Amino acid sequence: MKAIITTFVATIALSAMAASTAASGPLKDRVAAGQSIRIGYSNEVPTAYSAADGKPTGFVNDITLAVLKKMGYEKIEPVQTEWGGLIPGLNAGRFDIITGGMFILAARCENVKFSEPIYKMGDAFLVPKGNPKGLVNYEHIHDTGATMVTGSGYANIAHAKAAGVDATKIMEVPGPTEILAAMQAGRADVGAGTPILVKQLADSSGGKLEATNSAAMPKDSFNWGGLAFTKADQDFVDEFNAALKDYVGSQEMMTAVAKYGYDKDWLPGEAKTEWICANR
């Protein structure tokens, strides 16, 4: 009788463990259990954001959904959060993939597993119309003592500090809406972000702000963006990369993302994530 009870208890324990794994384990366990793939992103137009009907949109989300569909996965659940909460949220199990258009950086590679890159771009500035202080690169911010505003966790922070910009001159805010508000209120002299983000903010400023040309930025500020997964999901990342390889740069993809301004200049080229993690 004791042996039977012990076996029964062990069976219950294993069943509970299996249920727990299906609920919060690696991504392939979730999909095998029939659960949705949860994609996490912040409200970044046109990279990744929610449409009026709540559906995920933006060029990174569109690329992600297209590749997942080719892999046979169409049960998707969007989770929108602030930029600074993306990596913590991923590792806490609140979603399975970060689709927020995240640059592949060495510090991030220590905490997450990136896909192969899906785009490449540099930095750009949001400045008052006419750019009265002539701010086109981070050295200019340092030399003039200007105040820069950017999103918390954005790569622009490290790029500015590398150019000697003092941390007290860097205003960190939750995201694009707050960057625009700071610039419109005159609390910052320059806003920093990706060219697509900066252009979108400039276009929404009623002509009061403009975007600088990213070509004036140092070459080492150019970076590659990818999707982030937990390190436990290496098997899924390998499967995703295999499907991604045939999709990135294809006519199907270029047609789908053209409406967001994505063109051949944004294609990632030959750089691989392993190299990017070691050099950025």
Mean pLDDT of the region 97-126: 95
Higher-confidence residue of 227 and 214: namely: 227
Q: pTM here?
A: 0.76
Q: What is the pLDDT of residue 116?
A: 98
Percentage of the chain beyond pLDDT 70 is 91
Q: What is the pLDDT of residue 80?
A: 96
Percentage of the chain beyond pLDDT 90 is 80
Mean pLDDT of the region 34-38: 96
Domains, in order of start, for the chain: 28-120+224-279 (3.40.190.10), 123-221 (3.40.190.10)
Higher-confidence residue of 18 and 245: namely: 245
* Confidence check: pLDDT of 230 > 80: yes
* Confidence check: pLDDT of 9 > 70: no
Residue-wise pLDDT for 149-176, tens only, equals 999 999 999 999 999 999 999 999 999 9
Residue-wise pLDDT for 216-226, tens only, equals 888 778 899 99
Mean pLDDT for the chain?
A: 90
Q: What is the pLDDT of residue 17?
A: 39
Q: Reduce the secondary structure of the chain to three states and give it as a string.
A: CHHHHHHHHHHHHHHHHHHHHHHHCCHHHHHHCCCCEEEEECCECCCEEECCCCCEECHHHHHHHHHHHHCCCCCEEEEECCHHHHHHHHHCCCCCEEEEEEECCHHHHCCCEECCCCEEECCEEEEECCCCCCCCCHHHHHHHCCCEEEECCCCHHHHHHHCCCCHHHEEEECCHHHHHHHHHCCCCCEEEECHHHHHHHHHCCCCCEEECCHHHCCHHHCEEEEEEECHHHHHHHHHHHHHHHHHCCCHHHHHHHHHHCCCHHHCCCCCCHHHHHHHC
* Confidence check: pLDDT of 24 > 80: no
Residue-wise pLDDT for 119-140, tens only, equals 999 899 999 999 999 999 999 9
